[in-house]
């Protein structure tokens, strides 16, 4: 299992310290939640702060867009050369075009599904994706409870990707901890995002290690 701690739960007064801490504690990706106050009822960070994160991160950024105008934000963040940019299928009229655009910028494209969105909605996009991110909370805030229906959904997506694109990774985001990591592994999940679980732990190395099963 790969682990992507969400910087949303970091101490923003000590952002450099916290980003360096998760990178040296063994994380695989640095998950960055970008919210615009329109697609979700919260507002987080833009390119000024994300470039500060990029400057001190020693692991690739995993940028999760929760915004209305995806293309505008892809253009803003592309110069930072993140590993992945993921956008919500619920908010994109031309997902295939946007996938091509992200890939043409040298970034791995990923699509995010909200808790109510079925995996079948991306059946004809799966072969063009590097990753699918399944939300296991409603997007907008850290520290929420894990929504159990993501379990059968991850199983279904795992079957779909075996058939259509075995290289496409499955990531789960929201309410992840040592309590649900084993069931997620059993469903075929490859990467977990963990915000409050990692940052509330005094020993981040221990927290990340407990998810790397």
Sign of the Cα pseudo-torsion (11, 115, 136, 100, in order):
negative
Query: Residues 89 to 108: which contact ligand DX5 by CB under 6 A?
Result: none
**Is 186 assigned a catalytic role?**
no
**22 vs 97 by CB, closer to Zn ion:** 22
Round to whole Å and give the CA distance between 191 and 185: 9
**115 vs 165 by CB, closer to ligand DX5:** 115
Contacts of 40 (CB under 8 A, 6+ apart): 66, 139, 140
Residue 26 carries which DSSP code? T
Q: Which does 86 bind (CB under 5 to 8 A by kind): ligand DX5, Zn ion, none?
A: none
Round to whole Å and give the CA distance between 134 and 167: 16
53 makes contact with ligand DX5 (CB under 6 A): no
Round to whole Å and give the CA distance between 153 and 174: 14
Residue 128 carries which DSSP code? G
Query: Residues 81 to 140: which contact Zn ion by CB under 5 A?
Result: none
Which residue of the set 18, 28, 33, 36 is catalytic? 33
Q: Which residues bind to ligand DX5, rule: CB under 6 A?
A: 6, 8-9, 31, 33, 64, 137, 139-144, 173-176, 193-197
By annotation, the residues acting in catalysis are 33, 173
Note the residues at the interface with Zn ion (CB under 5 A): 33, 64, 173
């Amino acid at each position: 299992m790969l682990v992507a701690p969400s910087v949303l739960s970091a101490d923003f007064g000590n952002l450099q310290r916290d980003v360096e801490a998760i990178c040296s504690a063994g994380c695989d990706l640095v998950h960055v939640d970008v919210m615009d106050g329109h697609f979700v009822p919260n507002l987080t960070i833009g390119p000024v702060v994300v470039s500060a994160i990029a400057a001190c991160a020693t692991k690739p950024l995993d940028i999760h867009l929760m915004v209305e105008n995806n293309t505008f934000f892809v253009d803003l963040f592309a110069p930072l050369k993140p590993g992945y940019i993921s956008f919500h299928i619920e908010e994109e009229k031309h997902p295939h075009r946007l996938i091509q655009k992200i890939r043409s910028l040298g970034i791995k494209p990923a699509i995010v599904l909200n808790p109510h969105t079925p995996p079948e909605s991306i059946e004809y996009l799966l072969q063009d994706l590097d990753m699918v991110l399944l939300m296991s909370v409603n997007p907008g805030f850290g520290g929420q409870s894990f929504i159990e229906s993501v379990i059968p959904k991850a199983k279904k997506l795992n079957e779909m990707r075996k058939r259509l694109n075995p290289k496409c990774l499955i990531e789960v985001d929201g309410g992840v901890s040592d309590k649900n990591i084993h069931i997620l592994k059993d469903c075929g999940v490859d990467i977990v995002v963990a915000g409050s679980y990692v940052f509330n732990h005094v020993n981040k190395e221990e927290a990340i290690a407990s998810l790397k099963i």
